[in-house]
Amino acid sequence: MAQPTPARTHLDWWRSAVIYQVYVRSFADGDGDGTGDLAGVRARLPYLAELGVDALWFTPWYLSPLKDGGYDVADYRAIDPAFGTLAEAEKLIAEAGELGIRTIVDIVPNHVSDQHSWFRAALAAGPGSPERELFHFRPGRGEHGELPPNDWPSQFAGSTEPVWTRLPDGEWYLHLFTPEQPDLNWAHPAVRREHEEVLRFWFERGVAGVRIDSAALLAKDPELPDFVEGRDPNPFVDRDELHDIYRSWRRVADDYDGIFVGEVWLPDTERFARYLRPDELHTAFNFAFLSCPWDPERLRTSIDETLAEHAPVGAPATWVLCNHDVTRTATRYGREDTAFAFATKAYGTPTDLVLGTRRARAAALLSLALPGAVYLYQGEELGLPEVEIPRDRIEDPMHFRSGGTDPGRDGCRVPLPWVADAPYAGFGSQQETWLPQPVNWSSYAADLQAEDSGSMLRLYREAIRLRPAFGDGPLTWRPAPDGVLHFVRQDGAAHCLVNLSATPVDLPDHSELLLGSGPLDPQGRLPQDTAVWLRA
């Protein structure tokens, strides 16, 4: 029997929100210098309001040398001058709020930039100093300390580079990502204190939530032992100490009715759900769904497992198809292997974009009909494909740290096309954009799509407008032919069907066809790779 839905208040907005991820550097350029900025976002707020999203998640906009696109933070209380000023961020938060759009900022607690004042002080203070205790400094192994202190693998998939860097004074420091991103020592009380103050700093400025970067990596085994595959507990992933950290973060957030979304990549669903206990994080990204291939059984299993793992802790699911780290949806679904994995990214993978786009449209309706929150990555609503960036223009450290074999993540970070008939597809730049746009980029421009009722943009706008028809209650599967996903929400009042089989299927009885990802066939049946929303 379906559980009664408890009464919801405005404070529960995040349980069923549509949250739009803004990669500031590539969203819109307000000052014409080739890099996106806060002025660009402010100018495009009406577009986001028209799209109908509930909140914006901004990837890091803080002072940063941008060695990892801003995930190398030099100062959490300052905005990078390439993006704007703190006063402008405050204006942006307020202006978005006036349009009913909340703001989520991105906190990167695992590491800081090597230009952060703490790390500079640690370098200057030398071995054995209290300043170095904020990080993981160690002598090396080997007769002369010439070997790294342990053998941990890099957290940049495909990276062949070590996670330790040796200083001229002989000590080594730990960095799970690039050498410009030294890992903090979370066993140190000052590290905890500082982050709670940073949370307060941003909540005081009116943000509604915080995304937590690499949320399962912060805590380290103090002995820093070698990594042994399968040994439990892992010395640096998903350690029990993390839960105490997030419980105290939760107390800070509760003072402001703020919410968290954790970047928790963990294959073990029970371990994943621990982060979502009522006194810890509110939500976490659903990477299982993001990685799932375009396959009816696998998708259905992924949805069922997601709902089952969240139910015991009472947390809503999230549905994510892509983000700034992964292959864009339209491209991924147009390939032979439709799953996402960092390990399988390669140059020159054959792609059928017509097929991929048809599936991406169906996937949009599928994910927006599921119970929980949906994350939408900028440009997904335009159906942008992954771009193969010329090697001499790539900036992503993941590419370089793989020895050049991994194309890296810049292919999903190309500056957005806004106006077809304008320089740089209307991104706003007066000079070459920081990543090059491909020749056909204007054909995806938002202004063209706004005028075209068959466009991806119009589909997303309609879907977000109609999504309340699915409510916030549970999902029930209906019997369906092989290869067809059919579920209902609202005690059967709203249906979602997705046909992943080659055989067209008849629609169930309904009073109204709310929305389709593509046309029905001449017999009124749902064709392959098409989704439909119906009112019973």
395 binds ligand ISL (CB under 6 A): no
Q: At 489, list the tokens.
A: 């929400």
Phi, psi of 526 (to 5 degrees): -85, 115
Sequence-ordered strand ranges (E) for 206-294: 209-212, 259-262, 283-284
Which CB sits closer to ligand ISL, 260 or 342?
A: 342
| Region near ligand ISL per CB under 6 A, out of 130-138, 155-163, 231-239, 416-424 | 155-163
Phi, psi of 286 (to 5 degrees): -95, 85
- In angstroms, the CA 58 to CA 46 distance is 17
Active-site option among 106, 263, 325, 380:
263
| Region near ligand ISL per CB under 6 A, out of 48-56, 150-158, 161-169, 328-336 | 150-158
Q: Show the binding pattern over residues 177-196: x = contacts ligand ISL (CB under 6 A), - = does not.
A: x-------------------
156 binds ligand ISL (CB under 6 A): yes
Which CB sits closer to ligand ISL, 88 or 380?
A: 380
Q: Are 418 and 426 in contact (CB under 8 A)?
A: yes
Q: Show the binding pattern over residues 307-326: x = contacts ligand ISL (CB under 6 A), - = does not.
A: -----------------xx-
- With tokens 């990594």, the residue in question is 227
For the question of residue 297 being annotated catalytic, the response is no
214 binds ligand ISL (CB under 6 A): yes
Provide the 3-class DSSP secondary structure of residue 153: coil
Range 88-93 contact pairs with CB under 8 angstroms and sequence separation of 24 or more: 88/38, 88/39, 88/42, 89/38, 89/61, 89/205, 90/205, 90/206, 91/42, 92/38, 92/41, 92/42, 92/45, 93/205, 93/206, 93/207
Longest dimension (CA), the chain: 78
378 binds ligand ISL (CB under 6 A): no
**Whole-number minimum distance, CB 181 to ligand ISL, in Å?**
6
| Region near ligand ISL per CB under 6 A, out of 87-95, 153-161, 218-226, 368-376 | 153-161
Phi, psi of 283 (to 5 degrees): -150, 165
**Whole-number minimum distance, CB 373 to ligand ISL, in Å?**
18
- Which residues does 435 contact at the CB level (< 8 Å), separation at least 6? 26, 389, 393, 395, 410, 413, 414, 415
- In angstroms, the CA 318 to CA 247 distance is 21
61 binds ligand ISL (CB under 6 A): no
CA 31 vs. chain centroid, Å, equals 26
410 binds ligand ISL (CB under 6 A): no
| Region near ligand ISL per CB under 6 A, out of 36-44, 151-159, 248-256, 380-388 | 151-159
**Whole-number minimum distance, CB 184 to ligand ISL, in Å?**
12
Q: Across the beta sheet with 476-477, what order do the strands follow?
A: 476-477, 484-489, 494-499, 530-535, 512-516
157 binds ligand ISL (CB under 6 A): yes
Strand partners, 484: 499
For the question of residue 241 being annotated catalytic, the response is no
**Whole-number minimum distance, CB 111 to ligand ISL, in Å?**
7
**Whole-number minimum distance, CB 281 to ligand ISL, in Å?**
16
Strand partners, 374: 18, 319
Footprint of ligand ISL on 337-366 (CB under 6 A): 342
Provide the 3-class DSSP secondary structure of residue 280: coil
Q: At 278, list the tokens.
A: 């009522």
Q: Is 447 exposed, middle or buried (0-12, 13-18, 19+ CB in 10 A)?
A: middle
**Whole-number minimum distance, CB 397 to ligand ISL, in Å?**
8
Q: Show the binding pattern over residues 257-296: x = contacts ligand ISL (CB under 6 A), - = does not.
A: ------x-x-------------------------------
377 binds ligand ISL (CB under 6 A): no
- In angstroms, the CA 282 to CA 314 distance is 9
Phi, psi of 394 (to 5 degrees): -65, 140
Active-site option among 213, 386, 395, 529:
213
Which CB sits closer to ligand ISL, 263 or 309?
A: 263
Helix axes 353-368, 456-466, angle to 10 degrees: 10
Q: Are 136 and 152 in contact (CB under 8 A)?
A: no
118 binds ligand ISL (CB under 6 A): no
Count of residues interacting with ligand ISL (CB under 6 A): 14
Among 54, 68, 386, 395, binds ligand ISL (CB under 6 A): 68
238 binds ligand ISL (CB under 6 A): no
Among 54, 213, 238, 309, binds ligand ISL (CB under 6 A): 213
- Binding residues for ligand ISL, rule: CB under 6 A, are 68, 71, 108, 155-157, 177, 213-214, 263, 265, 324-325, 342
Q: Which residues are catalytic?
A: 213, 263
